[in-house]
Structure 1
Amino acid sequence: MKSLISEENREWYRQHFSVVFSDFYLFEELLGLKNSDLDAQAKKYLKQLQLDHKVKVENGQLSTTSLSQGQRKRLALLTAYLEDRPIYLFDEWAADQDPVFKEIFYTQLLPELRSRGKTVLVISHDDHYFHLANRIIKLDYGQIEYDKT
């Protein structure tokens, strides 16, 4: 049964999404996360995101956010991972990544999210990786040019 989004269920609906926008904001504290094992999980993800040599986490606090733009975006991804929501949206996430980590994002991180049953939406111009998508919707000036599964 479909249910429409209304004022009564809007917040519930929003809580299904983890989003990293291209113009993200990064907090030094991992806010709003209710996980008793937060630091341990964050350390695991920092290693996976190749940031464990630059950033430490203690009591939900990041040791630094003074990093390159690509590394800061990885910290934003860390927060999205820790939220552990069913739907992930990445808006040009890989644009600031070096070629090596861009490859890791598309070939390891996104498939891992999908294998955990997550819905993953990626807004990207990285046509080199389009073949990895389950579905491609191409927009041209806000109009759907094609929709291919």
Structure 2
Amino acid sequence: MNHSGQLVLIVSGNGSGKSTLAKIITGLYIPESGNIRLEWYRQHFSVIFLFDHFLELETNSLDLQAKEYLEKFHLNTKVQVKNGSLSTTALSQGQRKRLALLTVFLEDRPIYLFDEWASDQDPFFREIFYKQLLLNLKQRGKTIIVISHDDRYFHLADRVIKLDYGKVEYDNAANYSQ
């Protein structure tokens, strides 16, 4: 079954294992039981976890595309790109996370995983993230997995996966209509 072009939300309370599940899915953690049946899956993920650093761009040919994303991410007045390097990363936490978002958009992989990415964003950009950027990825046929507490956006998902004390439950995103 092909699930490309779907937006999947993983939701639950704090400490229930959402981030651990994300790290198992992406191959960063080895599961203690069970198995993952795809050998090639790691190279298909672009992942943004909660973190405090930025990965530099590796190629100069992406400058023009990076500049376009900086505009979309409302960072073009704070950061410039030249020869594959950013002029600064001395920004707020939310703005640095947008720079990380720039990196994964430039990687253009088939699967995206965002671990509480929008938690440091102001309400204006949070709306852009959920209603424009994620839906754009979906339209481009990307699979998007979002770990989130933002229940006001659950209705945008194709599937909602709830973790409850180590058990996985599936929910219909339509149950979260606005």
TM-score category of the 2 structures, normalised to the smaller one = 0.7 to 0.9
Aligned to 1:58: 82
Determine if contact 1:24/1:76 at 8 Å carries over to the other structure.
Answer: no
Moved over 6 A (4+): none
Match of 1:123 in 2: 147
8 Å CA contact 1:91–1:123 kept in 2: the answer is: yes
Give me the whole-angstrom Cα distance separating, in 1, the residues matched to 2:98 and 2:78.
Answer: 12
- 1:30, 1:19 → 2: CA distance? 15
Structure 1 residues 44-55: aligned runs within 5 Å: 44-55=68-79
Alignment-mate amino acid for residue 143 of structure 1: K
State the shift of 1:78 in Å: 0.2
- CA deviation after TM superposition for structure 1 residue 24, in Å: 5.2
Conservation of the 8 A alpha-carbon contact between 2:162 and 2:168:
yes
Q: Is the 8 A contact 1:135 1:148 kept in 2?
A: yes
Residues 110 and 64 (structure 1 numbering): CA distance in 2 closer, same or farther, change over 3 Å? same
Deviates more, 1:79-88 or 1:12-21: 12-21
Deviations for 1:100-143, whole angstroms, at most 9, x for unmatched residues? 00001000000000011100000001001101111001112332
1:90 partnered with 2:114: yes
1:30 aligns with 2:42: no
Q: Which runs of 5+ in 1 are unaligned?
A: 7-11
Is 2:44 aligned against 1:16?
Answer: yes
Preserved contact between residue 52 and residue 93 of structure 2 (Cα < 8 Å): no
Q: Root-mean-square deviation (CA), in Å?
A: 2.0
Return the match for 2:125 from 94, 101, 105.
101
Secondary structure class of the residue paired with 2:65: helix
Q: Secondary structure at the match of 1:15?
A: helix
Q: Structure 2: how far apart are the matches of 1:68 and 1:46?
A: 15
TM-score when scaled to structure 2? 0.72
TM-score (norm 1): 0.86
- Contact 2:61–2:84 (CA under 8 A) maintained in structure 1: no
Aligned to 1:134: 158
Identical positions, percent: 67
| Bigger relative contact order (CA 8 A; separation at least 6) | 2
Whole-angstrom CA distance in 1 between matches of 2:115 and 2:106: 18
For structure 2, the 5+ residue unaligned runs are 1-35, 174-178
What is the match of residue 9 of structure 1? none
Query: 1:4 deviation in Å?
Result: 3.6
